[in-house]
Amino acid sequence: MSAFVESEERQELRKAVRALGKKYGDEYFVAAATDGRKTTELWSEAGRLGYLGVSIPEEYGGGGGEIGDLAAVCEELASAGCPLLLMVVSPAIVGTIIAQYGTDEQKQRWLPGLADGSATYAFSITEPDAGSNSHNITTTAKRSEDGWILSGGKTYISGVDEASHLLVVGRTEDAKTGKLKPALFMVPTDAEGFTYTQIDMGIVSPEKQFTLFFDDVRLPADALVGSEDAGLDQLFAGLNPERIMAASMATGSARWALRKAVAYAKERDVWGKPIGAHQAIAHPLAKLHIDIEMARLLTQKAAALYAEGDLLRAGEAANMAKYAAAEAGCNAIDQAIQTHGGNGLATEYGLVQALAASRLSRIAPVSREMALNFVAQFSLGLPKSY
């Protein structure tokens, strides 16, 4: 990929995914969410066509591509009105971590299902009293005779009801210092001692949020992913792709909202000409187009740096992309509603249903304040504020 133009292969991938997204569209997505159904048909077809596994290594059934390829899939589906949140979680975070740090046996066991869409895994890090501070995580894994015993709790974990396993960020005790250190574990969702409850959210989405409880959950020794001594490095290996994917989903959703606003501004005529002829309508939409393109470029830059192994600069770009895309996404939905006037709040136009989800993009998977903290500290060299 050059600095500003994606490879021909990725452009062809986008084109193919765009066609799939158009086949389903926002009406399918909203209907599934409203009826309490999952987007199973779309997920299965995307997996069958190889789109969910584009970044999984070829030897495990994937396409052998980069995180930028998976991000392109996520963006194009969101642009069609089908933002698949579990793409951010399952193949991007869990898939990346296992592909980089799992044993050969773990890769053989976990990755092929991700590649063809037949398996879904959730990612579990957030805790009620830790929030964005991963150093305050209290979910603890203690060694047993034949493995581990996991205890603790998590909250706001996506897609647990759809997942066969969770990749849980816990902590183990350092044998030398006695201090707790991060470690990652694959936990079956049907494990004895594991329970979860759904959080009642005002978001129209097929993916639900849950609070989790681990009551002395017994795990085999090979539930540990990677090295017990490299948990933090392994954790952050998954968080950069998470931010890149979140930026792609927000950008795609922003493109969807802008497209709907532009179409309405062209056809709505109340003063003898389309309302899009008025600068009060046209200028905000033009500015949105600019903001979306900037977010897309930042996201592509982050993906390219990550693929090159430049993790520090990739982290900077990923945080900036996540911030820019979330702002563009929120502003695009808001402006699309304003362009539609009262119709923007009518359910038939599909915009009001996307309002809460767009607002969530400013909060998760990293809040805009924490993204700004990162840029202030690492890009500008300002003193750490927390």
- Asked whether the predicted pLDDT for residue 175 surpasses 90, the reply is no
- Average pLDDT on 309-331 reads 96
- Average pLDDT on 237-259 reads 96
- Average pLDDT on 69-80 reads 98
Tens of pLDDT, residue by residue over 113-157, are 999 999 999 999 999 998 778 778 899 999 999 999 999 999 999
Tens of pLDDT, residue by residue over 324-371, are 999 999 999 999 999 999 999 999 999 999 999 999 999 999 999 999
pLDDT band at 3 (very low <50, low <70, confident <90, very high): low
CA separation for the pair 83, 316 (Å, rounded): 24
Q: Which domains does the chain have, with CATH numbers?
A: 8-120 (1.10.540.10), 123-229 (2.40.110.10), 232-379 (1.20.140.10)
- Asked whether the predicted pLDDT for residue 174 surpasses 80, the reply is no
The beta strands (E) that lie in the chain are given as 121-124, 140-143, 147-158, 165-173, 180-188, 194-199, 209-220, 224-225
- Asked whether the predicted pLDDT for residue 292 surpasses 60, the reply is yes
Looking at residue 203, its pLDDT comes to: 95
Tens of pLDDT, residue by residue over 262-291, are 999 999 999 999 999 999 999 999 999 999
CA atoms within 13 Å, Cβ hemisphere of 234: 27
Looking at residue 46, its pLDDT comes to: 98
CA angle 365, 97, 6 (to 5 degrees): 75
Looking at residue 236, its pLDDT comes to: 77
Q: Residues, the chain, total?
A: 386
Q: What is the mean pLDDT of the chain?
A: 95
- Asked whether the predicted pLDDT for residue 238 surpasses 90, the reply is no
Residue 96 tokens read as 């990346």
CA separation for the pair 73, 245 (Å, rounded): 10
Tell me how far CA of residue 155 lies from CA of 127, 131, 140, 184, in angstroms: 5, 9, 15, 17
Looking at residue 230, its pLDDT comes to: 67
Q: CA nearest 132: which of 306, 373, 379?
A: 373
- Asked whether the predicted pLDDT for residue 322 surpasses 90, the reply is yes
The percentage of residues in the chain with a pLDDT greater than 90, rounded to a whole number, is 89
- Asked whether the predicted pLDDT for residue 380 surpasses 60, the reply is yes
pLDDT band at 55 (very low <50, low <70, confident <90, very high): very high
CA-based R_g, the chain, Å: 21
Looking at residue 1, its pLDDT comes to: 47
In contact, 49 and 39? CB cutoff 8 Å: no
Specify the residue for token string 């390219």. Answer: 304
Looking at residue 182, its pLDDT comes to: 85
CA separation for the pair 83, 172 (Å, rounded): 35
Identity of residue 250 = A
